[in-house]
Amino acid sequence: MSRSLSLPTVAADGANLHRLVVEAEPETNLLLRLLEPFVIHDVLPSRVACATCGEVLAVEIAFAASADLAQRLHGRLSVIVGVRDAALAPAGGARGANAPDHRPSDHRTAAHRAA
């Protein structure tokens, strides 16, 4: 049975809720590397959803943080080796606890296009 989780738009401490949607290479340790910046900045995500679709790992991370810190986390995730695309959005439009609704944007590497 699928259950939808509704997230408030502001955390109890007044921090805004954000959602990072990442498209990456489906490597075994990439999920761990995506979560490391949250540990470094002492931010505990409220939800992490991931799914693989062919040669793409799609990850959605919902978390509470100031707008400044959310931008910093977005920047750090964007430059991780293996990340193809990262988008930051308010969590008000977050889907449920199911797999993220992130469609591959065809950001294939040169090696993938050549094959």
Nearest to 90 by CA among 4, 9, 6: 9
CA 42, CA 24: separation in Å to the nearest integer? 23
Nearest to 1 by CA among 98, 81, 107: 98
Confidence of residue 7 (pLDDT cuts 50, 70, 90): low
Beta-carbon contacts of 37 under 8 Å, excluding residues fewer than 6 positions away, are 73, 76, 77
Structure token pair of residue 80: 């991780």
Q: Helices 67-78 & 30-40, crossing angle to 10 degrees?
A: 150
Give pLDDT tens digits for 12-39. Answer: 555 799 999 999 999 989 999 999 999 9
Residue 3's pLDDT is 54
Mean pLDDT on 76-82: 97
Give pLDDT tens digits for 49-72. Answer: 999 998 999 999 999 999 999 999
